[in-house]
Chains A and B, each alone.
Chain A
Amino acid sequence: MKIKSANKHRSAGANSEAKLRSRMRRWEAGALKNSLARLPERRARFASDSGTEIKRLYTPLDLRKNDYLRDLGFPGEPPFTRGAQPTMYRGRFWTMRQYAGFGTARETNLRYRYLLKHGQTGLSVAFDLPTQIGYDSDHALAEGEVGKVGVAISTLQDAEELFRGIPLDKVSTSMTINSTAAVLLAMYIAVAEKQGVRTEALQGTIQNDILKEYAARGTYIYPPGASMRIITDIFDFCRRRLPRFNPISISGYHIREAGSSAVQEAAFTIANGIAYVEAALKAGMDVDEFASRLSFFFNAHNNFLEETAKFRAARRLWGRIMSERFRARDPKSCVLRFHAQTAGCTLTAQQPDNNIVRVAVQAMAAVMGGAQSLHTNSRDEALALPTEDSVRIALRTQQIIAHESGVADTVDPLAGSYAVEALTDEIEAGARKYLKKIDSMGGAVKAIEAGYMQAEIADSAYRHQLAVEKGGRVVVGVNRFETAEQPVNKVLRVSPALEREQRRKLAAFRKKRNSRKALEAVEKVRDAAAGTDNVMPPILEAVKAGATLGEISDALRQLFGEHREI
């Protein structure tokens, strides 16, 4: 009986497919042809910013290979196309998490309290470049950079000041920190201990994704092998001691900012994710012991449909890879949970208020794509760090989408759209092609060492630039609809006095501490790193003993050497 009815169903499907096809041909020859004769289309070929061809019309014919249960399913169940979690935003909105930090810990602490007061629900720490690259604020190479793109943190004392008055058992904290992630995580734990918060209760994320630093962002220190070892040490440490903490945020954001297409962003991020899983397996962990804490970070770019599809495609692809390739048994190991940030590279210095609208559209795509947390950029970020007023508008944008637009009231609302489903399939297929190529090169680490990802990204960036300059790609206010403008002078400035203040503080700290004890603790970090012991426990001891970020990083630099760009 069952077989019969299935056959009947299939032939009914084939019938309606044939009927649809013939009706579509009739439409093309009739109404469409007449319309095109009267009014040709705006372009010969439509494509997204990142090169994906966009068809005139999507119909059920584009989805004929799609099987609902196999390819979409239900939210919170494999392959997770429809969402990471069953109720999505009906249960709780995404975490509104604005990336912030500048100057000294004291200034940044004030900005955090401001954001929390205005309804932000999680913290996101931006560190300055010296902190990200393992130089103390008084290092010669830090000159001019202290406190500029984020907060300067050299010591545990700085970290304490950063989180003063913020209850670390209640607020989750995301830290954009990679090559020095182990040190900042150790400081975070030490601050929590001083607040009387148990390590097990800590919630948050460290970015800790070194592969995209080599490929796109540039804050690497050590060569890839050493970096991967530190990362797997962190995985193992977090698994045992910080079960609610994400030890990595595998990031496509910066790959996209550096110029990649949407497909490349999804593909390279997942390729890097595969490399981390393989490294952890090689270090002796079982896939279900760590995979559920892997988190992701994507860019929310301009093309609303393509971006929505990208998030859904990435979630499905990861879900499939984790179960098929890595044989994860726990469904939680197969869920791609992600943070999204609107695309900084789309912000224009011209007519900066227009950026508010760009950000709103991009944020909407992130929500349609099922983001777990979101940062919305501020209108003035093509000019400088954002002012308080601009940051408030950016946060309000999220609140308006959440509370007023209605899109958060049903799960995965664009599912079933012929266009969105077709693009979701296409992005997954395109990403798989790249993964195959990267596998054939020996994996993401090898592909990055060979400069493959970097070259692909640079090619896409240049293609985009040429399209903008030839006028094929309209950027409102830049190559079309320009107006004469007064330069914007109300931008946030980080006073050079803060760099001096930070250096003074650091000098006083060094004077006050027991230097012998601190340097002995650094020696133990180096011993662990030279052997096979996990580096996290001695790093935690070292920061508590007063060792600075720069001292710990220098010890590892001497041992591991430094990565040089090819």
Chain B
Amino acid sequence: MNSKKRKIRVLIAKPGLDGHDRGAKVVVRALRDAGMEVIYTGIRQTPEAIAGAAVQEGVDFVGLSCLSGAHNHLFTKVVKLLRAKGARGVTVFAGGIIPASDIPGLKKAGVKAIFPPGTPTRDIAQWLRAAAKHL
């Protein structure tokens, strides 16, 4: 019910050196169109900068996108840094070129949902809304 009081706040981030941000930018726009407040970091951000921005902006969600294959290292690091900063209320989700066999490990590390290529953006918005019920 509270979600009606304020918009869901999302940080979409590109960790690492990967410059492929077509997907990230599309998700940013789709979530804005779905009524959320979305901040995009731009490409080539360090996990430290992403975690810092998430805390500073007080977001509910951090969406990570990586197509370079460095996701295991980078996503895990962002989750750890968020925890270290005490940002336990921030939920991390992700997308990109992520082999199916990597998904269980990432979920165990604290990435709550992974949206593979071809996911409709409305599915992502729906998932965020459901996950934000507690807000």
Contact = CB atoms under 8 A, between A and B. Distances in A.
Contact of B17 (A133, A213, A494, A565): A133
Given A465-B30, A488-B100, A489-B101, A145 B118 contact: no
A257 B22 contact: yes
Interface in B13-46: 16-22, 25-26, 29-30, 42-44, 46
Nearest to B122: A469
A217 B99 CA distance: 22
A468 B17 CA distance: 29
A289 B25 CA distance: 41
Interface of B is mostly: loop
Contacts of B83: none
B26 A348 contact: no
A145 B29 CA distance: 28
B112 interface: no
A258 interface: yes
Contacts of A135: 17
Given A129-B68, A149-B68, A491 B117 contact: no
B63 to A, nearest CB: 16
A398 interface: no
Given A149-B69, A384-B69, A462-B29, A349 B118 contact: yes
Contact of A461 (B22, B69, B70, B118): B22
Contacts of B117: 348-349, 382
B69 A141 contact: no
Which of B16, B68, B69 is the most central at the interface, judged by chain A CB atoms within 10 Å of its CB? B69
Nearest to A465: B26
Which of A129, A144, A217, A488 is the most central at the interface, judged by chain B CB atoms within 10 Å of its CB? A144
Nearest to B75: A144
Nearest to B70: A144
Interface in A464-510: 465, 468-469, 475, 478-479, 487-489, 491, 493-494
Contacts of A479: 120
B73 A217 contact: no
Interface in B97-113: 97, 99-101
A218 B18 contact: yes
Interface string A132-161: 110100000111110011000000000000
A217 B18 CA distance: 9
B68 A218 contact: no
Contact of B22 (A130, A259, A348, A487): A259
A498 to B, nearest CB: 12
Contacts of A213: 19
B120 A145 contact: no
Contacts of B18: 129, 145, 149, 218
A461 B22 CA distance: 7
B17 A145 contact: yes
Contacts of B89: none
A448 B23 CA distance: 20
Contacts of A145: 16-18, 68-70
Given A148-B70, A461-B25, 14 more contacts: A129-B70, A145-B16, A145-B17, A145-B18, A148-B68, A218-B44, A258-B21, A258-B22, A259-B22, A349-B118, A384-B69, A384-B99, A487-B101, A489-B99
